[in-house]
Amino acid sequence: MKNKGGKRVGHPVVSRRTFLKAGVAVGVGAAAGPFVLRKAKAQGIQKALPEPGPDELRIIESAKKLKKNVDLSFVAWGGHAKGQMEHLAEAFKKHTGIGVGSIVDISFAMLSQRAMAEALARSGKLDLLHVHADTVPTLATAGLAAPLDDYMKAVDFDYTTVGTFADMSRHEGKTYGLVTDGNCHIYYVRKDILENPDNQKRYADKYGAPLKMPNTWKEYLRQGAFFGSDPNTMTGFGNLRARRWGYWWFLINYYNHGLFPFTADVEPNFDNDAAEAALVAYLAEKPHVIRDFDNWGTAQMWLHVGSGKAYQSIYWGGLLPLWENPQKYPRVAGKWLHGITPGKVQPNGRRLVRTIQAGAPLVVANRHSPNLDAAAHMAMWWTSPRNSTYITGGPISTVHEPWRPVHFKDPYNKKVYTPSGLDAMFLSLQVNSPTVRVTGALEFNDLLDKHVSDAWLGVVKPREALKRVDADWRKVIARVGKGRLRKDVESYRRAMPKVDEPVTS
């Protein structure tokens, strides 16, 4: 662009040729690089694929009768699906001709939405889906999940689980999915800090009570406050509080106050003193944690706790392989006490312990799929006693937590989760509770979370937040319909723990 004098003024110009060259170079590099590197990929398996036991053989026999040679599609988060589940699918292919062809890898948070999208679209192209346990009623109502009871009966499938995972898979008496990952929060406390004699003395001086691993919520909060007095150096707690998942921890408090979200009349049950006390207990952690918790997800939290900056944490047992691993987290490896979440003493004197299952994935078979039979068999294959043991613990996918009684006897799991950690998981599973688990779960849970998050922020008082939960929930209840919800609430209740406190066995 030239002005009248012919001089080059106006728009600055960047040499086109230089950038063209640079671009080509980068492009070629980017294109060639991955293909070269891909060949270098190799994964060693340190655990042997199990020999089919009697349960597995029955499944194989039944699958062979289908005479199907098909590759199923599986929607799951890659962290779950890759590794052991893939190996088992390959083995099944060899035995029966039924295998898994493609894993549709999506973010863990989007599993329920993806399943609902399939319920809407009814494409039938997805055979198996990983879904969160609390969306089972919704997906059953939407007609996506296929009941598996007939298939299970035909092979005499043993669906014993520690705790109520089997019930979490059921709705109105039918089983809609099979669990692969025994998601459950256990309780971690820093042994080195707790057993430090100076700390013991200081604590005893201040409170007149000995410093021991907390088994009541009051003690849990007190110790957290004591050691988290300067959150920038050490936070008293290591639990998430962000919008979207803070409510998991709130529900622990809510449940251990003996509450249930729906009354007998299918009305919301949040506007009462007990719920307010639960929310206040939830909010009590705020002065002793850093503000960033309001935005963090798990990866930030595990780094935070793993670098020794948290005194205690209520988190997945699946983090044991990380936090106990001296190569990965030398600052905290071997320094943990494991246990069950602190309970709450009820007015009648009994102690109630509750923990939360946050997003336990179930394998669900798509009702609209032409390969439904094959898919059901694959689901059973993955979750059979020996195969599910192979899936849990690792080595490639380590996010599957144990859920069968036999998993807890497996030596590999004992090593990876540490014996005391494994014990803690066994106990925690007995008091493992679902999040709100009715038709419309996503909406109920998100509305609860929204107001809890507002309360955490401080923009609304706890009681007012709970009132709003009630108000919002009533609208959804009206929309979904009490008739439908009555049945759902029944199956929700059945999925709650059967014991007040876990029993050692």
Partner 1 sequence: MPGGDPGPGASASPGLAFLVWKKMAQATMVRRKGGFLRWWALTPLVLALLFMIPVLLLQIYLSLHQWTAYLGPWWTSDFVGLDLFWQVLTEDRFLRAIARSFVFAGTSTLLSVLIGFGLAYLLQSPFPGRGFYYMFFIIPMLTVPVVVGYNFQMLLYQSGPVNHILSLLVPGEVRISWLGEAVPAFASLVFIETWNWTPFVMIIMLAGLVSMPKEPVEAARVLGASRRQIFFYVTLPLMKPVLVLVIILRFLEALAEFPKFWTVTQGGPGTFTETIPVYLYLTSWDYFNVSKAAAMSYVILLVVGTIIYIAIRLLLKQKRSLDTMFTRSGG
Partner 2 sequence: MKRQTRRKLFSVARYVLLSMWLIVATFPTYWMVATSFKLPEQWLAWPPVWFPSPPTLKNYIAVWTGTPIMATGALLPEINIDVFRALMNSIVIAGGSTLLSVAIGLLLAYGVSRYQVLPEGRLFNLLILRMMPPIVIAIPLVIWYSTLKLLDTWHGLIIIYTITTLPYSVWMIKSFIDEVPEEMEQAAQLLGASQVQAIVKIVVPLIRSGVVATCMFILILTWSEYLLGLVMTAGEAQTLPVQLSKFEGTQEGRLFGLQAALSIGVTIPLIIIGILIHKHLVRGFSFGMIRRQ
Angle value at C-alpha 360, between 307 and 120, nearest 5 degrees: 125
Contact 201, 226 (CB under 8 A): no
The answer to whether the beta carbons of residues 87 and 46 sit under 8 Å apart is no
Separation CA 179–CA 133 (nearest Å): 8
Tally the residues of the chain.
505
Nearer to partner 2, 17 or 67 (CB): 17
The residue (of 11 and 479) whose beta carbon lies closer to partner 2 is 11
Do the beta carbons of residue 130 and residue 361 sit within 8 Å? yes
Is 301 a residue that touches partner 2 (CB under 8 A)? yes
Instruction: Determine if 48 is a binding residue for partner 2 (CB under 8 A).
Output: no
3 contacts partner 1 (rule: CB under 8 A): yes
Interface characters, 20-49, with partner 1 (x: CB under 8 A): ------------------------------
Enter the tokens of residue 384: 């059979």
Among 1-9, 77-85, 333-341, 419-427, the segment contacting partner 1 (CB under 8 A):
1-9
If we measure between CA atoms, which residue out of 147, 75, 174 comes closest to residue 118?
A: 75
Q: Which residues contact 220 (CB under 8 A, 6 or more apart)?
A: 214, 312, 342
**Interface with partner 1 (CB under 8 A), residue from 2, 197, 232, 411:** 232
**Of the residues 6, 14, 44, 505, which one makes contact with partner 1 according to CB under 8 A:** 14
CA torsion 343-346-348-350 (nearest 10°) is: -10
Our finding on whether 287 is near partner 2 (CB under 8 A) is no
Residue type, 72: L
Q: Which of 142, 225, 322, 333 binds partner 1 (CB under 8 A)?
A: 142
Alpha-helix runs per DSSP H in 244-352: 246-256, 273-283, 298-306, 320-323
* Residue window 93-122: x/- pattern of binding to partner 1, with contact defined by CB under 8 A: --------------------x--x--xx--
Mask 433-452, x = binds partner 1 (CB under 8 A)? ------xx-xx--x---x--
Nearest alpha-carbon partner for 291 in 242, 251, 225: 242
480 binds partner 1 (CB under 8 A): yes
Q: Is 166 in the site for partner 1 (CB under 8 A)?
A: no
- DSSP secondary structure letter of residue 361: E
Between the alpha carbon of residue 279 and those of residues 19, 248, 273, the distances in Å are 58, 12, 10
Q: How far apart are the first and last CA of the chain?
A: 85
- Residue 241, Cα to own-chain centre: how many angstroms? 15
* Interface segment toward partner 2; rule CB under 8 A; list 275-283, 377-385, 392-400, 464-472: 392-400
Residue 300 touches partner 2, criterion: CB under 8 A? yes
Torsions phi, psi of 99, nearest 5?
-135, 180
Q: Which is nearer to partner 1, 17 or 291 (CB)?
A: 291
Q: How many degrees, rounded to 5, is the angle at CA 466 between CA 460 and CA 467?
A: 95
Q: Which does 446 bind (CB under 5 to 8 A by kind): partner 2, partner 1, none?
A: partner 1
In the list 319, 352, 448, 495, the residue contacting partner 2 (rule: CB under 8 A) is 319
SS3 state at 151? helix
Q: Which does 398 bind (CB under 5 to 8 A by kind): partner 1, partner 2, none?
A: partner 2
Strand-strand pairing, 344-345 and 355-356: unpaired
Binding of partner 2 by 44 (CB under 8 A):
no
Helix locations, 67-190, DSSP H: 78-81, 84-96, 111-121, 136-141, 149-154, 165-168
* Subset of 216-275 contacting partner 2 (CB under 8 A): 242, 244-245
Stretch that binds partner 1, among 10-18, 46-54, 60-68, 430-438 (CB under 8 A): 10-18
Is position 501 an interface residue for partner 1 (rule: CB under 8 A)?
no
Residue with tokens 């060899």: 94
**9 or 24: CB nearest partner 1:** 9
Q: Please check whether residue 178 is in contact with residue 446, taking contact to mean a CB–CB distance below 8 angstroms.
A: no
Q: Count residues binding partner 1 (CB under 8 A).
A: 44
Residues that bind partner 1 (CB under 8 A): 1, 3, 8-14, 113, 116, 119-120, 138-139, 141-142, 232, 242-244, 290-295, 300, 439-440, 442-443, 446, 450, 453-454, 456-457, 459, 476, 479-481, 484
Residues that bind partner 2 (CB under 8 A): 1, 3, 11, 13-14, 16, 19-20, 22-23, 26-27, 30, 33-34, 37-38, 40-43, 75, 77-79, 82-83, 102-109, 114, 117-118, 120-123, 126, 242, 244-245, 296-304, 316, 318-319, 321-322, 325, 328, 359, 394-399
